Structure 1
Amino acid sequence: MMEQFLLSKGYLMGKTIGEGTYSKVKEAFCKKQQKTVAVKIIDKEAGPPDFIQKFLPRELQIAQTLDHENIIKVYESIESEDGKIYLIMELAKGGDIFELIVKTGPLPEEQAQALFQQLVKAIRYCHDRGVAHRDLKCENTLLGDELTLKLADFGFAKIFSPGSTELTKTFCGSMAYAAPEVLQGVPHDSRGSDIWSMGVVLYVMLCGHLPFDDTDIPKMLWHQQNGISFPNHLTFSQGCRDLVRRMLEPDVTLRLSIEDICRHGW
C-alpha cells in the first residue's frame, strides 16, 4: 500500500537505509527529478503523543525552511490517509561519519578538520536562524559526494528567538553526546549543548571512540567534570587539542560559542 501510494506521487521505492524508533528511511527514485532521493517515513500512530504533537510539527517546519549546502535538503512532505508522513529528502550516498570511522578508524587530523569546518558552518547557519539541533552525533552527520558533510535529522530541534537567552530543561539526543547540564536536567541554553555535542563528534573523528562511557551516568558526569584525555598513540596539533577541550568545557559559561569556534585558529 505504501509503495503504491508513493508510486502515485512519482516515487519508486527502493531499499531501507536506516531505521529509528518511529520512522525508517528508504531510498526512492524520483521520476520528476530523475534522481535517487531518501524518503523518511514517519508513522504517526506508532509515536507517543508528545512526539506527534510537539516534535514532529517542529521537525516538519524546520526541515523545510533550512537551505544550506551542509544540511540535508528536504524537497517536500506528503501525508497519507493512514497516518504516515513521508519526508522526501536529498540522499547522502556516503553514509554517516560513524560508519566511516568504523570502516577506517580515526581520521587524519587534516580530514577531520575539513569535515568539522563544514559542521561548524551548518550549526552557525542554524543558530543564526534560531534553531538548535539538540541531537548532534556522528550518526546524524552524513556524507555526500567527495566527503561533503550533510547535517541531518532535526527531530529534536528547538526554535528560539535569535539573541534570546531562552532556557530549557528538556532532555534530548543521545547520552554519549549530551552535555553535563543536559544530563543533570538543569535549565540550559540548547545552543551551548550543541557546542558540547560538536566537541564529542570532533573527538570521535580524531580518536575513533567516544570520550565518555555512557553505561554509568554518575561516573560519566564525574569524567566530564574532570576533563578529557587523548589517546597516547595518536598525535594532534596544539590548536586541535585546545579546540576540543574548550568545546568539552563542563562550565557552560566558559564553553566556546559558535562564533568563538569560527574565530579559533584551528
Structure 2
Amino acid sequence: MDNFLLANGYQLGKTIGEGTYSKVKEAFCTKHQRKVAIKIIDKMEGPEEFIQRFLPRELQIVRRLKHKNIIQVYETLESDDGKIYLVMELAEGGDIFDCVLQSGPLSESRARMLFYQLVEAVRYCHSHGVAHRDLKCENALLHKDTYLKLTDFGFATLLPLSYTELSRTFCGSTAYAAPEVLQGVPYDSKKGDIWSLGVVLYVMLCASQPFDDTDIPKMLWQQQKGVSVPRHLGLSNQCQDLIGRLLEPDMILRPSIEDVICHEWFSAPL
C-alpha cells in the first residue's frame, strides 16, 4: 500500500478516521507540497452489495460535486490488489462530534454560522440530484475553525427523475435516522436528510442526542412525541422553532431544504 502511494506521489501518515469498510489517513502530496486526506477502501473486505452497488455510486457522486462546503476529491486511484484510494481535501479541525465532545455545546451564534454552511452543502446536493443519507456530526468536518465541510458520500444516492419514487434502503446511523427510515417504510431521501440535519443541530447546541437510540421502540415513541430542548441553554425562540420543524415526525410536513435555508433563525439578531 505504502509503495503504491509513494509511486503516485503520496507519503502516508496517521489514521484520522475509520468507517465500516474504509480507513481515512493523512498524507503528504509531494507533487503539490500539501497535506491531503486519503480514504482507503479494500474491495476484498467489503460485502458484495457494497462493492457492486454503494461503492460505484459513491465514486460517481463525489466526482460530480464541487462546492465550497463539501470536501473536494482530487483524484481516485486503484491498485492491483483491489484497493481504491480517494485523495481528498484535508480538514484539519476534526469533526463536529469531537468538537462538542471536547468543548461542550456550541454557542448559538457559532452553531448558526456552521449549521448554515452545512445546509448550503445539502441544498447544493439536493439541487444536483443527490441525497446524502448519512448526515451526522462525524461527517461535518471543520476547516480552520470557521468553515464546515461535508464529507463521506458512502450511502449517498442519485435521486430518481420521478419524484414519486421512494427509497427503501436503511442507511446511515440509527441516532440520526428519521422515523420513516426506522419503521422500514418507503421514504423520501431528501426529507430523511432534513431530519438528520435536525439531529445535527440539536447535538451542536445541546451536546447530547435528542432521542435515545439504545431502544428503538422507545426512540420511535419519543420521535412521535416531539423534541424538547433543555431550558437552561437559553436558546432563542427562532432556534427552537427550527429544531422542531426539522424534527417533524410526519415526513410530508417536514420542510424542504429551500424552506430550511429561508428560516428566520439565520437572519435573526442574537
Q: Which residue of 2 aligns with 1:134?
A: 133
Structure 1 residue 145: deviation in Å? 1.7
Q: Which residue of 1 aligns with 2:101?
A: 102
Structure 1 residue 146: deviation in Å? 3.4
| Alpha-carbon distance in structure 2 between the residues aligned to 1:89 and 1:138 | 19
Query: How many residues matched?
Result: 265
| Alpha-carbon distance in structure 2 between the residues aligned to 1:68 and 1:200 | 23
> SS of 1:42's equivalent?
strand
Deviations 1:123-176 (A, max 9, x none): 000000000000000000001123200000000001014672320111000000
Q: Residue 82 and residue 197 in structure 1: after superposition, are their counterparts in 2 closer, same or farther (change >3 A)?
A: same
Q: Which residue of 2 aligns with 1:203?
A: 202
The share of aligned pairs that are identical, in percent, is 67
| Alpha-carbon distance in structure 1 between the residues aligned to 2:73 and 2:118 | 18
| Alpha-carbon distance in structure 1 between the residues aligned to 2:79 and 2:251 | 43
Asked if the contact 1:128–1:162 (Cα under 8 Å) also holds between the matched residues in 2, the reply is: no
Q: Which residue of 1 aligns with 2:213?
A: 214
> SS of 1:64's equivalent?
helix
Q: Which residue of 1 aligns with 2:121?
A: 122
Q: Which residue of 1 aligns with 2:183?
A: 184
Superposition TM-score, scaled by structure 2 size? 0.97
| Alpha-carbon distance in structure 1 between the residues aligned to 2:36 and 2:258 | 33
Asked if the contact 1:27–1:39 (Cα under 8 Å) also holds between the matched residues in 2, the reply is: yes
| Alpha-carbon distance in structure 2 between the residues aligned to 1:11 and 1:44 | 21
| Alpha-carbon distance in structure 2 between the residues aligned to 1:23 and 1:11 | 18
Q: Which residue of 1 aligns with 2:224?
A: 225
Q: Which residue of 1 aligns with 2:239?
A: 240
Q: Which residue of 1 aligns with 2:257?
A: 258
Superposition TM-score, scaled by structure 1 size? 0.98
Deviations 1:83-106 (A, max 9, x none): 000000000000000000011100
- Runs of at least 4 residues off by over 4 Å: none
- Corresponding position: 1:149 with 2:148: yes
Q: Residue 162 and residue 236 in structure 1: after superposition, are their counterparts in 2 closer, same or farther (change >3 A)?
A: farther
> SS of 1:210's equivalent?
coil
| Alpha-carbon distance in structure 1 between the residues aligned to 2:201 and 2:120 | 14
> SS of 1:156's equivalent?
coil
Structure 1 residue 119: deviation in Å? 0.5
Asked if the contact 1:94–1:147 (Cα under 8 Å) also holds between the matched residues in 2, the reply is: no
Q: Residue 127 and residue 163 in structure 1: after superposition, are their counterparts in 2 closer, same or farther (change >3 A)?
A: farther
Structure 1 residue 19: deviation in Å? 1.1
- Which 5+ residue runs of structure 1 have no aligned equivalent? none
Q: Which residue of 2 aligns with 1:80?
A: 79
The alignment yields a C-alpha RMSD, in angstroms, of 0.9
Q: Which residue of 1 aligns with 2:69?
A: 70
